[in-house]
Amino acid sequence: MLNLNIYKVKVHKKGLIVLPARLRKKYKVKEGSEIVLLDDNGQIILIPRYRIVDLYGIAREHAETIDEMIKEIEEERKNEAST
């Protein structure tokens, strides 16, 4: 069973929409946050885009793993740049 909450928003000049405060708070969307828009056969899907540093607050218990991932990515980039 789907658990959908439906929100009705208006499109303003220049295509602007306002995300309801409840959703901004739930998904930690603030001014300057990025949201990915997907065009899926007649549906527009909005997905909050998080930077790696944003994940520290969301998943503090995984901070060590995130640090390791960042180091691996940096190492891969260095290796690719030198080839």
Contact 19, 10 (CB under 8 A): no
Instruction: Give pLDDT tens digits for 7-41.
Output: 999 999 999 999 999 999 988 898 988 899 999 99
Q: Are residues 57 and 76 in the same domain?
A: yes
Q: Are residues 35 and 45 in the same domain?
A: yes
Give the number of domains in the chain. 2
- Residue 16 CA to residue 50 CA, distance in Å, equals 21
Range of the domain at 25: 8-49
Residue 12 within a domain: yes
Instruction: Give pLDDT tens digits for 61-82.
Output: 767 787 788 888 888 888 888 8
In the predicted structure, residue 53 carries a pLDDT above the cut 70: no
Q: Are residues 43 and 75 in the same domain?
A: no
Q: Are residues 58 and 83 in the same domain?
A: yes
User: What is the percent of the chain with per-residue pLDDT over 90, rounded to a whole number?
Assistant: 37
Q: Are residues 36 and 62 in the same domain?
A: no
CATH number of the structural domain spanning residue 42: 2.10.260.10
